[in-house]
Structure formats: structure tokens, C-alpha cells
Structure 1
């Protein structure tokens, strides 16, 4: 019986899904890929204003529950933290680089961008941390796939070239063979990545795994226990904060000796304030231990005033439409420049 792998239609999603399909094929699994359109693909609204969590994952999850496909490959950072009955996290493969990168006109680094430069991102987390380093920047909300976003910067790809720079995930550029477009890999000390950034999540129907032990074994062989524990710890922070994947929360778990050390932060939207917390747990760490670490760090973030610094539920209630500067001639909060 052929296993059906559901995927989004973007270049990055297809590339990620093909990589997993090839790995399963090498393990004797016959894989058929089916493209499923998602709300995140078809809407033109701001990614941070789509009105619900997990917009990229919802259609794929529904397809698995309805039997249209047996498994799906997600960018782990895009998944809601709440579990879905009938689905399981079958594997987290080896993690790609976690950092964000700056892609700019003329290869300028963040410190070299001109005053008032217009920088594109669809992420409030990135926008807030950019402003923490460069309060003079104007932030432009952008949508589209990676080549489309690169095209917004003059000289990088075909496109309008109306921005001075964009910020993207290093992992996505690397998977598409476009890392050469990056002018600077931003240090995680100033640009904390999204929880589970760089990690893939292979989600599967529990019924499909129960019926196909060969598929279950093949997926288990793709799982990287350390990458899984790190990603789950980071996502545990989000879960405790009850924050969505678009909230201004950064988290990174790293292996240090015999421990996983988790550092997380919440940044004010204008970059003026930040709350930070950290914790650790021994290796090896199972799913429960990783989640408990995230819960502890999330609790410490709240004690440090995270809820006062930023609206952690912004993804659910909508983002101030004046937050992003949508065109040159407006300040970074959208107001007309005098």
C-alpha cells in the first residue's frame, strides 16, 4: 500500500516534503505526495492577522484526520502547541541551522543599513528584535514564498526591489540552496529564533501507524532524540505562555555537556524592553522532561514580567494594524512621517 504524504504547495514545503519522502523510500516505503492548499497559502492578509493559530498546518491536519493523507511534514515552528487527537508527532529529524539571516541590498550587515532603512519581515518576533538593535528602522510586513520575499530587495531576485533588506530563516534558505543571498547570519544573542525554528515535524495519523508497522519503524529511524527534545522544550515555553507561533517569543535549547539548556525571551513590540529566563534538564530527555523544562522557563518568563512587556495573545485577538510601516514615507508604526 502506498503511503500518502500531504504537503503545502510552496517551494520550501515541497523541498522539505521531498526530502522526507526520499528518506522513507530509501527505507522501503512507497510514498505518494499530494499537494493540499492551506489558508496560509491563499490569503493575502498579514500572516500575523490571519485570525487563528496554525493556519499553515490546519488543512494538512484535517486531511490526515479525514484519511486524504497519512502523514505531513511541517516546519515545526508553524505548528500550534495543542495536541490533536488522532495525530502524533512521529519524528523530528536532525535539525537545520536555527538562526535568522539578513538579506540586504549591496550585502550590507544590520549595523550598516542606512538610517530609516525599510526592512521586511512577516514576524513580529523578528520585528521587535530588529527594533531593539536599530530603533530607527522601518518595518514592512511581507508575505509570499522565499523567492518572492527576496525579490523585495533590490538586486537579489526578480521583483519590485522596494525594500532595503528582509529577514528570513537560515534553514529555509539553506534547504532551497539560496543561502548565498544572505548578507549576515544574525547572532542568536540578538535575534533569538522562534521556538523549534530549523526543525521539521513529521506528523502522522495514529490510525495509519497502527495499520502500517513498517511506516512506524521507518519514521522512528528518522527521529533525532536530541533535536526532538530541544524543539519540544522550546515549544513548551509557548504552551505555558499560551502564546501563538507569531508572538514575540524567542527560545533556543542547546546541548551543553550532559544537559539541555533552554534560554527564552519576550521582547516588547518596539524593542524597548525584554524579559529573559533560562533553565536546564539532564540528557537524555524524553518528551515529558522536555515539555516540563519549557514549562519552568515559561513560568519564569511570566515572573519576569513577560505578559506586561508584550501581548502574548496577539495572534488570537489581532495585531494593531498600525504596527507595520506598509510603505515608504511612513514611520515604523505606520503613521505618516512629517
Structure 2
């Protein structure tokens, strides 16, 4: 009997996600005659410790995964459950993403006082978000809104909506869905208005490259369609060498291509100025996720994305 130790952040959302993953893996083990049990190990990351500074100012990649990856490398845990949008585009030596389960809703959403939609927020309304990507797109769409940084887990941000004078806050729909709080959503923002973060709505199950038993188990859990869409988005991000200091978004999906008479991968990528003054966006269709991610990135570089990225890094 193999005991698999599962590493996770300790927020209620992270633990909810982890327990769902364990439930799924336990079922897969039973269906495939694999004998294993699971233990949970909670790990505090740098991103969890620093809550009084915006993510873009904390800097660095892997704010929410570095300590968990170190525990994997040390053999203290066997798998790690991450929100894919927190995972740097390049894996640590000796580690890999063994499974990307089926994605849930990738969109951003507005939770507002009075349950009003984005277009119904009053002129000059105060909106909270911890994301430069969301802020830039919101400023481009509604320049009149006042954007203020808001940090913390979902629970604390929802409390701040009630106690700190916000008219609304922006969150990932996936987190609310996983917590069973979808009824709190006032408005789902279409990707045309607010393109999601790379990997948003998807989980990544990370493991050591040399753990054959775990790799075999995770291969049975992987969702090929989600893995392909996330790979396209992450390739796009890697080419632009972006992190949370820069407004970058990407969303890939399988869509019917009437010209090709086939279902193909469609990727939209975005790079924006933090103040929302200039937003570059490109959509391409293809069959190979890596090639498609590079193609969209190169197109935006040709349109001046490198200048925006260089200014943002400064």
C-alpha cells in the first residue's frame, strides 16, 4: 500500500481543491486496482505570508509554489496541487506537471454591491482587484472606474467588499465555483472584455519525474483537452517571459473552424499597459499547442509587446 503525501497551500480554497483531487485519485485507484492512501501536508508560501503588498510589487515567479516545490524535491511530499495560474511556465529541475484535470470556468467575474453588472456600476465606482491584468483591461473598458488593490484569500476579499467601501471586486469564477459560492457572482466577464490569466480555472498536479507509481496514476487523471489548451497558454507566457508584474492574459479553447471543417485550437493572447492605455490582443488558430503559443506571442512582439513589457519591468 503506497501512502501519497499531498502538498497544498492552507487557504480554504486550496484545501477544497486538494480534497476534490484526492477524492478523484482515490476513485481512479479503486477502478484500476492501485492500492494507495493519501495524507495532506499544508505548506505556507511567500505569497501567503506577504499580504500587505500588491503581487506585482512582491515580484518573482512562483510566489505561491516555490516552498511546495522544495518540499517535493526534498521528498517530504509526493504530489502538489496548484492552481495552474500560479505555476511558473518553466518547471523546476526534477519536477513536472503530471496531470491537468478537466478545467472549470476560466472567466473572471464581478461580485458587486446590489448585484449589478459591470456596465451598471455607477460612474467612478471603486473596484478591488489584486491583478494588474484585470486592472488594465478594466481601465481600458471603463476608464471612469477607480481601481484599488485588494489582497487576501477569497473569504477575506469578500469581507472587504462589505467593510472597505468597494462597489465591487473582481475574482476568478473558478474559485467561487469550487467553494460552492457561485450564487455570489453578479456578472461573468466575457473574455472579450477581460481575458483570463494563463491557466485560470485549471489545476496542475505536480510530482517528481522519477516517481513511476505517481506518474502512472496521474496519467489516468489527466484531461487531454485541458492539457492542450493550458500548454498553448503557458507556451505563450513563456515566450514573453511574463509574471504577475505585467498585464498578460491568454485563453485557448477548442472551437469549430468552418474553413478547415474541423475542431481546432484557438488561442487569444494579450499584453497591456498597467494603466490600460494600450492593449495588444491577437487570436490565432492551429493544431499544435506549442507552435500556436509561440505564433501568438511572436505576433504581439511584432506589434510592440516587448516595449510594453520592458516599461512594465522598469
- 2:136 alignment partner, one of 125, 128, 131: 128
Is 1:55 equivalent to 2:63 in the alignment? yes
How far apart in 2 are the matches of 1:150 and 1:144? 9
Q: Which shows bigger deviation, 138-147 or 242-251?
A: 242-251
Aligned pair 1:291/2:290, yes or no?
Answer: yes
Aligned alpha-carbon RMSD (Å) = 1.5
Tell me if the contact between 1:125 and 1:246 (Cα under 8 Å) persists in the aligned partners.
Answer: no
* 1:151 corresponds to: 159
Listed as ranges, the gaps of 5+ residues in structure 1 are: 155-159, 283-288, 318-338
Where does residue 207 of structure 2 map in the other structure? 204
> Deviations 1:169-204 (Å, cap 9, x if unpaired)?
010110001111111001110100011111111111
The count of aligned residue pairs is: 300
| 2:12 pairs with 1:7 | no
Mean CA deviation greater in 301-310 or 131-140: 301-310
Q: Distance in 2 between matches of 1:178 and 1:145?
A: 14
Separation in structure 1 between the aligned mates of residue 235 and residue 14 of structure 2, nearest angstrom: 24
Which position in structure 2 is the counterpart of 1:163? 166
Q: What is aligned with 1:261?
A: 266
Distance in 2, matches of 1:24 and 1:313, equals 41
Distance 2:120 2:284 in 1: 35
TM-score (norm 1): 0.85
SS across alignment from 1:41: helix
How far the C-alpha of 1:59 sits from its partner, in A, is 0.6
Moved more, 173-182 or 256-265: 256-265
Structure 1 partner of 2:299: 300
Q: Determine if the alignment matches structure 1 residue 108 to structure 2 residue 108.
A: no
TM-score, reference length from structure 2: 0.92
Offset from partner CA, 1:210-260 (integer Å, 9 cap, x none): 3x2xx3222111111110010110111111111114521111111113210
Contact 2:57 2:245 in 1 (8 A): no
